[in-house]
Amino acid sequence: MYLINFSLTVSAAHSKFPLSVTDWNILVLFSSTFPECQLCVLTGGALQIDFRPAFWRREAVQRIRTTRTQKIQPHSGALALFSVRFRNCCPDLLVGAEVALSVGGKVDIMSQLMRVITRKMSTSRAVEKVVVIGGGLMGAGIAQVAASSGFRVTLVEVNEQLVEKAKGNIQKSLARVAKKQFKDDEAAQNGFVATTLGRLDATCSLTDAVRDTDLVIEAIVENMKVKHDLFAKIDSVAPQHAIFASNTSSLSIREIAQVTQRRDRFGGLHFFNPVPVMKLLEVIRTPETSDDTYKRMMDFGQSMGKVCITCKDTPGFVVNRLLVPYLAEAVRLLERGDATAKDIDIAMKLGAGYPMGPLELADYVGLDTTRNIISGWHENFPENPLFQPIGTLEKLVQDGKLGVKSGEGFYSYKK
Ligand code: CAA
Ligand code: NAD
């Protein structure tokens, strides 16, 4: 007995539910040898449903076989149970088949109730399609590495110009990775770049992008309100099974998730800059993150070749809780005139073995992001001296000196 969550294309002119809802629960009963498959469609309204053949690929069937769940009886009267029987039919035989069936019936059911039941019945579904929102420093890197690891990726930016900029940055970075991986083999380098780009789309159309995805990774500006607006907008459009993750450096994942109806399918995936180089991924679970979501996030991170560590939803998780106060202290040292920027950076590289000095690193991370992290923590923990605002940093950001990405920060990067 297996319970799975189907992704279906619903083409009903008179459906009671918005057509953007593409996840419907189907109860599939398999005997252990698959001599018979009973398919029960749980939905309401008069609908015409197309089963897309991709679902029946052999790997998908294999995965279902290992995803054992308990039988759930739908509340009679609340839901219609439509069932179709494929007698003596092994699902593998359906490879490539396009099964279209019409189901009739009229049930008065609130979409809210549907949602609750859907959530209860959702089960594991490995990540194949990923949407990355924000194509800046982090989003472009995450999209690139996900695509080169075999995932189908859509990157979302706010306008065409930024879409093009993100694509250009990805191409440059991919060329560096290809050169490193395939040394003098130019054909292999080109093949790697072309294959990766073939798995990557970039668009400004947010809602279209999330309509058919398994995982959304948000990497937009470090601001709670902006992140809330984004997640509220996509929650009703993305499939029920899809996991939402934020790449936030410092904000509470639980608080970001508040605006959604999928707090059990919400977590943190905190990557490090530059994403193609840094091996670490912090996987964050809130008290509401389900075991299944956590597992899917860990599997995804490992498939990207990252070393995953787990941390509770605490400010800055592990790395930034230690790193950002250190960066802030370096700016305060400079502000007090204790040492020059160059000497502070030399000191930490040669005296502590860091690959970059703290002011170089703040420029590399982005002074806007660094400033937003500190000011967000200051708002929440006003007594903590480590999180007090720093005049020098505020001024640089106000002047548009955001570090490497704007061409100037503590240092100049203008060519
Ligand atoms: N894409 C692909 N490859 C890249 C790359 C990119 N964007 N940037 C660097 N690389 C590769 C280079 O191709 C190079 O490869 P080879 O060794 O094969 O030549 C390698 O990385 C080293 O690069 P460089 O020689 O150009 O320069 P470097 O030796 O100074 O290394 C660095 C650059 C990897 C960035 C290194 O200085 C470093 O590790 N710095 C610290 C970075 C860090 O601390 N990141 C975390 C920031 S905090 C954060 O991300 C969390 C947050 O929320 C704010
Ligand atoms: P960035 O400024 O380089 O890029 C953010 C991008 O998001 C911009 O290109 C912007 O146009 C885009 N954007 C903003 N709103 C959007 C929306 N509604 N839809 C689509 N795109 C939108 O910022 P970044 O450094 O990539 O940081 C992104 C997130 O990752 C932040 O939460 C940050 O704290 C976190 N982070 C940053 C670093 C780092 O080193 N910079 C490291 C780890 C995590």
* pLDDT of residue 101 exceeding 50: no
Pocket flag, ligand 1, residue 372 (CB < 6 Å): no
What's the whole-model pTM score? 0.77
Residue 9 vs residue 321, higher pLDDT: 321
Pocket flag, ligand 1, residue 318 (CB < 6 Å): no
Residue 138 vs residue 87, higher pLDDT: 138
Backbone phi, psi, residue 288, to 5°: -90, -15
Q: Are 300 and 127 in contact (CB under 8 A)?
A: yes
Q: Which helix (H) or strand (E) holds 120?
A: helix 111-121
Q: Are 214 and 128 in contact (CB under 8 A)?
A: yes
Any residues with CB less than 8 A from the CB of 385 and at least 6 apart, and which? none
pLDDT at 88: 26
Query: What tens digit of pLDDT does each residue of 208-240 get?
Result: 999 999 999 999 999 999 999 999 999 999 999
Instruction: Return the SS3 of 135.
Output: coil
Q: Are 9 and 50 in contact (CB under 8 A)?
A: yes
Pocket flag, ligand 2, residue 403 (CB < 6 Å): no
Q: Are 324 and 362 in contact (CB under 8 A)?
A: no
Under the banding of pLDDT at 50, 70 and 90, the label for residue 330 is: very high
Pocket flag, ligand 2, residue 246 (CB < 6 Å): no
**Token pair in block for residue 267:** 């977590």
pLDDT at 197: 95
Mean of per-residue pLDDT scores for the chain:
76
Under the banding of pLDDT at 50, 70 and 90, the label for residue 182 is: confident
Ligand number, closest to the Cα atom of 142: 2
* pLDDT of residue 84 exceeding 90: no
Residue 273 vs residue 183, higher pLDDT: 273
**Mean of the pLDDT values across residues 181-194?**
89
Query: What tens digit of pLDDT does each residue of 277-311 get?
Result: 999 999 999 999 999 999 999 999 999 999 999 99
Distance 127 CA to ligand 1 centre (A): 27
Nearest CA to ligand 2 atom 8: 136
Distance 281 CA to ligand 2 centre (A): 17
Pocket flag, ligand 2, residue 247 (CB < 6 Å): yes
Residues 9 and 22: their CA atoms lie apart, in Å, by: 6
Percent of the chain with pLDDT over 90: 65
Q: Are 26 and 6 in contact (CB under 8 A)?
A: yes
**Mean of the pLDDT values across residues 157-170?**
98
pLDDT at 209: 97
Pocket test for ligand 2, best of 203, 221, 271, 318 (most atoms within 8 A of CB): 221
Residue 311 vs residue 17, higher pLDDT: 311
Compute CA 59 distance to the chain's CA centroid, rounded to the nearest angstrom. Answer: 23
